[in-house]
């Protein structure tokens, strides 16, 4: 009878070892799968982040280029206004004349009249 008990116990122990080994292998596989999944997700996030940073850099460069162009256009406009319109300054003269400078030449205007349509 004790031999039968020993055989049953040995069989139980062996089955238990096999079940534990299978469980350990299953856990190892799940851990590897999880690690692989995490690495893949981290790679995807890093790629999206790199793409986002590249797009941000491109946009910042474009904004800087447009700001420089606008600044140059504004400067050109001011130069054109200066040339076309001249610089007018109200003089505190006794005759009330208005001095206008156009392209470096000074003109005096003593009388104003409304433009005819």
Per the CB < 8 A criterion, the answer to whether 90 and 101 are in contact is no
Q: Tokens 């400078």 sit at which residue?
A: 101
Question: What is the structure's pLDDT at 13?
Answer: 93
* Lowest pLDDT segment from 15-24, 70-79, 91-100: 91-100
Which structural domain range is residue 62 located in?
2-84
pTM of this structure: 0.47
Average pLDDT over residues 27-31: 96
Question: Considering its fold, how many domains does the chain have in total?
Answer: 2
- Residue with the bigger pLDDT between 116 and 38: it is 38
Statement to judge: residues 78 and 103 lie in one domain? no
Statement to judge: residues 19 and 39 lie in one domain? yes
The dihedral through the CA atoms of 50, 51, 52, 58 has a sign that is positive
Count of CB atoms within 10 A of residue 88's CB? 13
CA atoms of 72 and 66, how far apart (whole Å):
10
């Amino acid at each position: 009878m004790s031999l039968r008990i020993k055989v049953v116990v040995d069989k139980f122990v062996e089955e238990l070892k096999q079940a534990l080994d299978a469980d350990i292998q299953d856990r190892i596989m799940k851990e590897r799968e999880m690690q692989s999944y995490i690495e893949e997700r981290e790679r995807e996030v890093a790629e999206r982040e790199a793409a986002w940073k590249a797009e941000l850099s491109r946009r910042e460069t474009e904004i800087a280029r447009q700001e420089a162009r606008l600044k140059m256009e504004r400067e050109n406009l001011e130069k054109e206004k200066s040339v076309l319109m001249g610089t007018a300054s109200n003089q505190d003269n006794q005759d009330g004349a208005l001095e206008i400078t156009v392209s470096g030449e000074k003109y005096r205007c003593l009388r104003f009249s409304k433009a005819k349509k």
